[in-house]
Structures are given as C-alpha cells and as structure tokens.
Chains A and B, each alone.
Chain A
Amino acid sequence: DIQMTQSPSTLSASVGDRVTITCRASQSISSWLAWYQQKPGKAPKLLIYKASSLESGVPSRFSGSGSGTEFTLTISSLQPDDFATYYCQQWRTFGQGTKVEIK
C-alpha cells in the first residue's frame, strides 16, 4: 500500500503569512492527489484535486503543486477562516493531517 506522509503535523502562523504544507507519497502517484480542509465538528471540504486543480468556489489563495512523490499545498496569504486541519489524500489513503494554528 502507498503511504502518505504530511509535514509538519502542526504549523503556527499569523494572518497574512504564506503557508506551505508538504505531502510525500511512498511511491509515485503521478498527479493523483487531493487536498482537504477540515474544521472542528465539520466534514472535510475538497480544496484541490489532481494535485493542482482548484475546486470550484475555493479561494484562489489556495494552490497545489507537485507530481510523483512530493506535493505541496500553499496558502498565499493566511486568512482567519483558514485556521483548520488539512489532509492530503491519494486513492483511499489519507495523510495524518496538518493543523494550522494561530501564532
């Protein structure tokens, strides 16, 4: 099975910061990677699919990049609504999550 490893596990940042989260696959997955945002008590929300395609309605400050085994989710200017936990996903495997906290 392919393993997905996210880093960091927790990230402290301020409003306006540029934030980058990394996801590594244990073997090449081409561009078949999705990113989700989850807030406490809520279901995950799809942000990015096929590594870099922005889901409809998601703010353009979110972007995804990468292929093969290394991928990144970038928030260009962190907003108050962005403090949440982020997960990467390939097929039926999720990364362990990255919690973005207020610094």
Chain B
Amino acid sequence: EVQLVESGGGLIQPGGSLRLSCAASGFTVSSNYMSWVRQAPGKGLEWVSVIYSGGSTYYADSVKGRFTISRDNSKNTLYLQMNSLRAEDTAVYYCAREGVDGDYRFDPWGQGTLVTVSS
C-alpha cells in the first residue's frame, strides 16, 4: 500500500527551529517529486516546497531562505527543516507525492502534522 506518514510537529516559539519527517512506504521517495503543502487554521492549501528525483529543490517565496527540503534515501523519508519560524508558519503540514510531465496531481498525501508557532 502506498502511504505517507508525517511526524515532528509541535509547539515552537517564534524564531525557533523544527524538523518534520515524512516516511514513505509502497514507493521510493528518491524516484519521485515530493512536496510539502501546508494549511493554516481555517484557510486553504498552500504549496511550500518540492524536491525533484534528481535532487533539485524549490521553495515558495514565503519560506525561501528559512526552510530546507531534503530526503534520506536509505530511510525512504522526506524532511522539512524549518528555521526562523514565524507565527504565520502555524499550519498543518502535509507531504505529498507530486505528479510529473504536466499531470501535477498530488497523490498520495500524508495525514498531516500540526506546527504551532507561538510564545
């Protein structure tokens, strides 16, 4: 079964750091485009970052320079290192496999992990 399971969320003070993990099963993370998408409380979906199968990485302007996406091929796991966190980064963070060649559907999705940035 194809599945993604996130972990690592929690309550963190402004300016702090947190690393999210996304463990995959049923497919190989390094052979796919993998994204992080977040959803602030009561709001819509916002794409955050992607890592391509070739290793290239891209970020939304809102997190560029503060967040870093990476993967551990031996663990088949995706990561999101979040530094200099702000209140506006408070959201549920989902990892998802992204389609390619125009068919940019996100599927599957993890269950999400909540990050709360507050003092």
Contact = CB atoms under 8 A, between A and B. Distances in A.
Interface of A: 30, 32, 34, 36, 42-46, 49-50, 55, 87, 89-97
B106 A96 contact: no
Contacts of A93: 47
Interface residues of B, number: 20
B40 to A, nearest CB: 12
15 contacts: A30-B102, A34-B105, A43-B109, A43-B110, A43-B111, A44-B94, A44-B109, A46-B106, A46-B107, A89-B105, A90-B104, A91-B104, A94-B47, A95-B44, A96-B44
Contacts of B35: 92
In terms of DSSP, what is the predominant structure of the interface of chain A? Answer: loop
Interface in B71-119: 94, 99, 102-112
Contacts of B11: none
Contacts of A91: 104
Nearest to A85: B44
A97 B104 CA distance: 18
Given A43-B112, A92-B50, A34 B45 contact: no
